[in-house]
Structure 1
Amino acid sequence: MSGPWITWNVRGLGESTKREAVKKAVLHVKPELLLLQETKLNDQRQHIVETWTQALRMSHAEVHSVGSAGGLMCLWRESSIRVLSVVSDVWFIFLTVMISNIEQPVLVGNVYGPHSLAERRLCFEALKTHILNHDGLVFLGGDFNAVLLGSERSSGGVLDAGDEAFQQFVQVTNLADLPLANGEYTWYSSRNDGLWSRLDRWLVSDEVLLSFSNISQNVFDWNVSDHRAVGLLFGLLDAGPKPFYYFNHWADEAGFNELVEAWWHSAVYQGWSGYVLQQKLKGLRGKIREWRKGRGAWGVEKIVSLEHRLQGVMEALENQGGTEALTKERRDILEALWRAYREEERIWRQKSRVRWLKEGDRNTKYFHRVCKVRTVKKNITQLKYEGRLLTTPLEIKQAMQDHFQNFFRTSEVPRPWLQNVNLRKVTTAENQLLEAAFTIDEIWEVVKNFDGNRAPGPDGRIVVSKKKLSVYKLLAKVLSVRLSLVLPGLLSQNQFAFTAGRQIADCSLIASEIVHSMSSRPEGGLLFKIDFAKAYDSVE
Structure 2
Amino acid sequence: MRVKLVSWNVRGLNEENKRGLVRNLVSQWGANIYVLVETKLTGNVSSLLHTIWNNKWVGELHLEAVGNSGGILILWDIRVWEGELVESGEQCISCKLTSQNQNLTWYLATVYAKCKRMEIRDLWCELGAMRSLCEGPWVVCGDFNVVRYPSERTNCSSINVAMLEFFDCIDELELIDPHLFGGSFTWRRGENHTTASRIDRIMYSAQWEKLFTLIRQSTPPKLVSDHNPVLLTCFVLAEKLKLLKRKLKEWSKNNRSNWKQQKEEILDKLSKWEILQEQRPLTNDELMQKTNLAMSFEEVVKNEEIRWRQRSRIQ
- The normalised TM-score by structure 2 is 0.70
Query: How much does 1:82 deviate?
Result: 1.1
Counterpart of 2:225 in 1: which secondary structure?
A: coil
Residue matched to 2:38: 38
**Distance 1:47-1:138 versus aligned 2 partners, 3 A rule:** closer
**Distance 1:165-1:103 versus aligned 2 partners, 3 A rule:** same
Counterpart of 1:208 in 2: which secondary structure?
A: helix
Residue matched to 2:138: 138
How far apart in 1 are the matches of 2:9 and 2:102? 28
Note if contact 1:23-1:56 (Cα within 8 Å) is conserved in structure 2: no
Letter in 2 for 1:182: G
Counterpart of 1:115 in 2: which secondary structure?
A: coil
**Distance 1:136-1:2 versus aligned 2 partners, 3 A rule:** closer
Q: What is the CA deviation profile of residues 313-370 of structure 1, one whole-angstrom value per residue up to 9, with x for unaligned ones?
A: xxxxxxxxxxxxxxxxxxxxxxxxxxxxxxxxxxxxxxxxxxxxxxxxxxxxxxxxxx
Residue matched to 2:278: none
1:446-485 equivalences under 5 Å are none
How far apart in 1 are the matches of 2:77 and 2:178? 24
Counterpart of 2:164 in 1: which secondary structure?
A: helix
- The normalised TM-score by structure 1 is 0.42
**Distance 1:166-1:102 versus aligned 2 partners, 3 A rule:** farther
Letter in 1 for 2:90: V
How far apart in 1 are the matches of 2:166 and 2:135? 22
Q: What is the CA deviation profile of residues 387-436 of structure 1, one whole-angstrom value per residue up to 9, with x for unaligned ones?
A: 89xxxxxxxxxxxxxxxxxxxxxxxxxxxxxxxxxxxxxxxxxxxxxxxx
How far apart in 1 are the matches of 2:228 and 2:38? 13
Note if contact 1:3-1:30 (Cα within 8 Å) is conserved in structure 2: no
Is 2:65 aligned against 1:70?
no
Residue matched to 1:171: 171
Is 2:102 aligned against 1:95?
no
Residue matched to 1:85: 85
**Distance 1:85-1:65 versus aligned 2 partners, 3 A rule:** closer
Percentage identity across paired residues of the two chains: 27
How far apart in 1 are the matches of 2:46 and 2:174? 40
How far apart in 2 are the matches of 1:222 and 1:54? 19
**Distance 1:162-1:49 versus aligned 2 partners, 3 A rule:** farther
Counterpart of 1:217 in 2: which secondary structure?
A: strand
Query: How much does 1:52 deviate?
Result: 2.5
Q: What is the CA deviation profile of residues 359-390 of structure 1, one whole-angstrom value per residue up to 9, with x for unaligned ones?
A: xxxxxxxxxxxxxxxxxxxxxxxxxxxx89xx
Structure 1 runs (4+) greater than 6 angstroms displaced: none
Note if contact 1:32-1:80 (Cα within 8 Å) is conserved in structure 2: yes
Note if contact 2:92-2:126 (Cα within 8 Å) is conserved in structure 1: no
Residue matched to 2:14: 14
How far apart in 1 are the matches of 2:137 and 2:32? 17
Note if contact 2:137-2:205 (Cα within 8 Å) is conserved in structure 1: yes
Residue matched to 1:52: 51
How far apart in 1 are the matches of 2:137 and 2:119? 27
Residue matched to 2:184: 184
Letter in 1 for 2:48: V
Query: How much does 1:197 deviate?
Result: 0.5
Residue matched to 2:265: none
How far apart in 2 are the matches of 1:111 and 1:17? 26
**Distance 1:191-1:165 versus aligned 2 partners, 3 A rule:** farther
Higher relative contact order (CA 8 A, sep 6+): 2
Residue matched to 1:28: 28
**Greater share of strand:** 2
Q: What is the CA deviation profile of residues 246-282 of structure 1, one whole-angstrom value per residue up to 9, with x for unaligned ones?
A: xxxxxxxxxxxxxxxxxxxxxxxxxxxxxxxxxxxxx
Residue matched to 1:315: none
Counterpart of 1:231 in 2: which secondary structure?
A: strand
Note if contact 1:42-1:68 (Cα within 8 Å) is conserved in structure 2: no
Note if contact 2:80-2:101 (Cα within 8 Å) is conserved in structure 1: no
How far apart in 2 are the matches of 1:109 and 1:63? 12
How far apart in 2 are the matches of 1:167 and 1:232? 21
Query: How much does 1:84 deviate?
Result: 3.7
**Distance 1:69-1:211 versus aligned 2 partners, 3 A rule:** same
**Greater share of helix:** 1
How far apart in 2 are the matches of 1:54 and 1:149? 34
Query: How much does 1:117 deviate?
Result: 1.3
Q: What is the CA deviation profile of residues 204-251 of structure 1, one whole-angstrom value per residue up to 9, with x for unaligned ones?
A: 00111111111110111111100000011123559xxxxxxxxxxxxx
Note if contact 2:6-2:229 (Cα within 8 Å) is conserved in structure 1: yes
Between the two proteins, the alignment pairs up a number of residues equal to 239
